[in-house]
Chain A
């Protein structure tokens, strides 16, 4: 037990700092109208993300899991993942929308209270990716629910995802 605590207290800090110059890592695509500044200000201090897997191959989910580890630590920016779309401000959708998940995705969108942001993560979600035109797939996410931002990549690396999220909030400061 005490060896355990000793290891914890004397482990080195290996967190990755994000500075303004990391803006270039962001690969954000704005779709349609950008979110109003008023709403961005509301979410700048605290953003609750609900992650929806609409039939993806888990590559993007692995990168998202890496966001919560001690290197990237998305929580220090006030962003956290929640368990229910009712608690969420942003829906982060991954994967091409399969036919079975189309209805569920729509219900999740309706269950999220306004103001809300929808982000499509990964090439599969943006265009259908390698599953494009398959019989089991409805299509890109914006065929099912209105999407505000897209983050391309197959899958995008955690640093790209993190910088893109901060770009959505226009919140780049030395953290």
Chain B
């Protein structure tokens, strides 16, 4: 039974993430009065890309070749360490908030280097913009999780979700404020509106897309899958740390199924909200984005002052 749970925890995020991307695209298509591709289309895209050949630039070095593997590995390593549907992993892997933040930065580091590596001007300014936003978003990210740490007096993610599930009532205002800050950081780090348009073709408006313009074949598939994974990781963190009901402690078969179901409902809700947000607002001008990230940081500080 334990093995079964471990396998699900390891596989659930890479398996579900393309479905999430398909869902967001489907909802956006319906907002545009179209039918859109099916929700399983990203799986077909990935499968096709894995079976295509690749062309690698002559100017690129081994960093370009190895970066997609590293970025994907990092998302898997983080996926294993976050609370999804059960707490049986709490002693097994490392699951500290700073570890998660800096491990995701590891992925961003190599992504930015890969963008610089081929010498294309698009990759260069994509890396520059990505590092600017990532540097500013990290403060908001750490602080929104810090609010939860101060409420629950743990920095282990599983312990935090357990504590907050039990004592939601007295801390509801700081948790909600911290959640708004976290949501802004989620949009920034996963390259969605208002920070970045994931479906743009204009290189001057790209941030994340610009860094992967040079990739093809299986490496492109890994990069796209890794960014889908990162999206699902952030949504899972938001769902399971700020609204942590439904995470089981024991390993009984029925309770696992129930908690999986609750988890799926929560992330479905999050995906829908983000798709609605994407269809309703426009992308901000680049130099307005730091203001938004500082707003996230300030909301977290207000939340800290409201604790106790």
Binary A-proximity of B21-46 (CB < 8 A = 1, otherwise 0): 00000000101111111100100110
Asked whether any CB of chain A lies closer than 8 Å to the CB of B52, the reply is yes
Interface segment, one of A22-30, A41-49, A95-103, A134-142:
A41-49
- Contact assessment for B213 and A86 in the assembled complex, using a CB-CB cutoff below 8 Å: yes
Chain A residue total in the interface (Cβ 8 A)? 32
- Contact assessment for B35 and A73 in the assembled complex, using a CB-CB cutoff below 8 Å: yes
Q: Which of A84-99 contact B (CB under 8 A)?
A: 84, 86-87, 89
**What range describes how many residues of B lie at the interface?**
20 to 34
The B interface is mostly helix, strand or loop, or mixed, namely: loop
> In the complex, what residues of A have CB within 8 A of residue B34's CB?
15, 69-70, 73, 75-76
CA distance A22 to B24 in the complex (A): 31
Q: Which A-chain residue is minimally distant from B55 (CB atoms)?
A: A113
CA distance A48 to B38 in the complex (A): 15
Asked whether any CB of chain A lies closer than 8 Å to the CB of B280, the reply is yes
CA distance A78 to B44 in the complex (A): 9
> In the complex, what residues of B have CB within 8 A of residue A130's CB?
none
- Contact assessment for A86 and B209 in the assembled complex, using a CB-CB cutoff below 8 Å: no
Taking the closest CB of chain A, its distance from the CB of B211, in whole angstroms, is 12
Interface segment, one of B103-111, B214-222, B258-266:
B214-222
> In the complex, what residues of A have CB within 8 A of residue B216's CB?
86-87, 113
**A46-B45, A86-B214, A86-B220 given; A114·B53 CB < 8 A:** yes
Taking the closest CB of chain A, its distance from the CB of B173, in whole angstroms, is 26
A residues whose Cβ falls under 8 Å from a Cβ of B: 1, 4, 8, 11, 13-15, 42-43, 45-46, 48, 69-70, 73, 75-78, 80-84, 86-87, 89, 111-115
Known: A46-B47, A86-B55. 9 other contacts (CB 8 A): A1-B280, A4-B280, A73-B34, A75-B34, A83-B209, A86-B213, A87-B216, A111-B55, A114-B52
B residues whose Cβ falls under 8 Å from a Cβ of A: 29, 31-38, 41, 44-45, 47-48, 51-55, 200-201, 203, 206, 209, 213-217, 220, 280
